[in-house]
Amino acid sequence: MACLNKKICMVCLLAALLTAGCTPQDPMPDEEDVVNLPDEEQQEEETEDVQKEYDVELSDKLSDFQFSVNETVYTLPARLQAWKNAGWTYEKDNGKKALDPESFLEGEILESEGGSLAVDIVNLDGEKKLLGECYVGGVQLESTEDDSRVYQLPGKIRMGTSTLDEVTEAYGMPTDQYEEKDNIYLTYEYGIYKQADLVFDVQDEILYKAVLKNYREPEDGSEEVSKETPAEVENYQAPGAFPDDIMAFVVRYGGDFYKLPAPVCEFTKNGWKILEDGSDSIVKSGRHGYVTLERDGQTLYAVVNNYADMAVPMENSFIISVHGDFDVTKVSVEMYRGITLGMSEETMKALLGDNAYETEETDRGVSYFIYADEEKQNYTRIFVDKDLKLVREIELSNSPDTLSAASMGTPQEEPDSVEAAAMYGDDEFPGEEKEE
């Protein structure tokens, strides 16, 4: 109000001078001086800018899924109770509503004095839990004119000011990048259920929106981890060829034979490397986890099970599914009787023979499903491109409740004839040089 009072005083002074016979030569306030005086609005803006600078300590890695709202730092996932302790409320958390095991709710609203946030509520446990016992596993942050809060991400990235170049310098090249209408989209993937989507304005390339999701159970260090190799891993034997039983879940992946589920250490023995950012370090007994494997520039995101009676390191868990295609996971994959990527639909159906299958048709093509159980949890999927009439994707998934001795795999002799070798899919992967 300082500026407004000064103007009032000057008007009063002018009136007094005029009534006292003041001449026109008396000094008048310069117009420019009045305009340039700092007014109340300018002072408030300057004060607000100072308040918006928050010095917080965040990780340098986006894969750690840390962020801050004003001066408070959060990490995904975090228990809902931790958010409540920080001043947030969740209307649905009434002590009665529960969430099914290993499931989630997207777009739920948390409220605080500073405003609201859209979050994902996740039950990471193997049994039903009340909402108040669940985690916040995802959040949507958006810098707008109506939202005065300050959002910061790892690597000194600040929403509303950081540019596309600054983001890629801090986080490296994204898994995917594309432009649509008025936005540029960057996606950073760190395995299954662990992803960051960043959105930039196409004109000034300023980051204004971030959708962060990390539905992976945090490790608190309290779990006792077995130092011994589980018997299930020691008893596993890699097959040497395809048996004449499609339900055996034998696959030749990247040129090597596996029987699913197969130990992660079998993949690392064949040259695959575990990427820590996208992988759990341990897997609890009787639970599943996630691993990201890389070899020759190709990435495999896989679900794993732990069949031991103690928690185990990732290497001693079992991969229950593999996938290969021509677009994303460009790894050679062959299955029963040598059905392989690039094979014609006609040949594939001939090799399936009398095995029962179900089909699902989409605009892109047809999926052939061969189910191993009535619940349809364990299956083989073969996708045929609609236009090319060629096998474009192959996926195998098998997760039995327990591993019997018979399911550990039995070594078989390699085919000893040209005809047998052809049946077992000894062709080169399309577009891939055959190893010597």
Question: d(Cα 206, Cα 160) in Å, to the nearest integer?
Answer: 6
- Which residues, in sequence order, are CB contacts of 355 under 8 Å at separation 6+? 246, 336, 370
Question: d(Cα 250, Cα 244) in Å, to the nearest integer?
Answer: 10
Q: What is the pLDDT of residue 405?
A: 57
Q: What is the pLDDT of residue 14?
A: 37
Question: d(Cα 357, Cα 384) in Å, to the nearest integer?
Answer: 14
Distance of CA 113 to the CA centre of its chain: 30
**Could you write out the DSSP letters of every residue in 364-405?**
SEEEEEEESSTT--SEEEEEEETTT-BEEEEEEE---SS--G
Q: Extract the tokens encoding 347.
A: 């040949």
Q: Extract the tokens encoding 374.
A: 């009535």
**Could you write out the DSSP letters of every residue in 301-348?**
EEEEE--SSSBEEGGGSEE-EEEEESSSS---EEEGGGEETT-BHHHH
Task: Classify 313 in phi/psi space as left (phi over 0), alpha (psi -120 to 50) or beta.
Answer: beta
Q: Which of 61, 87, 83 is nearest to 74 (CA)?
A: 83
Q: What is the spatial order of strands in the sheet that 273-274 belongs to?
A: 262-263, 318-319, 298-305, 288-295, 273-274
Question: d(Cα 436, Cα 431) in Å, to the nearest integer?
Answer: 16
Q: Which of 81, 94, 47, 54 is nearest to 70 (CA)?
A: 54
The set of long-range contacts for 396-402, using a CB threshold of 8 Å and a minimum separation of 24, is 396/249, 396/251, 396/260, 396/321, 396/322, 396/323, 396/335, 397/260, 397/320, 397/321, 398/249, 398/260, 398/261, 398/320, 398/321, 398/372, 399/261, 399/288, 399/303, 399/305, 399/320, 399/321, 400/261, 402/307
Question: d(Cα 121, Cα 128) in Å, to the nearest integer?
Answer: 13
Q: What is the pLDDT of residue 18?
A: 37
Q: What is the pLDDT of residue 413?
A: 44
pLDDT tens for the chain, 436 residues long, are 444 343 334 434 333 333 344 334 444 444 333 333 345 455 444 444 444 679 999 999 999 999 999 999 999 999 999 999 999 999 999 999 999 998 999 999 999 998 999 999 999 988 999 999 999 999 999 999 888 999 999 999 999 999 999 999 999 999 999 999 899 999 999 999 999 999 999 999 999 999 999 999 887 777 899 999 999 999 999 999 999 999 999 999 999 999 999 999 999 999 999 999 999 999 999 899 999 999 999 999 999 999 999 999 999 999 999 999 998 899 999 999 999 999 999 999 999 999 999 999 999 999 999 999 999 999 999 999 999 999 999 999 999 999 865 556 544 444 443 333 333 333 332 333 333 3
Instruction: Count Cα atoms within 13 angstroms, Cβ side, for 243.
Output: 15
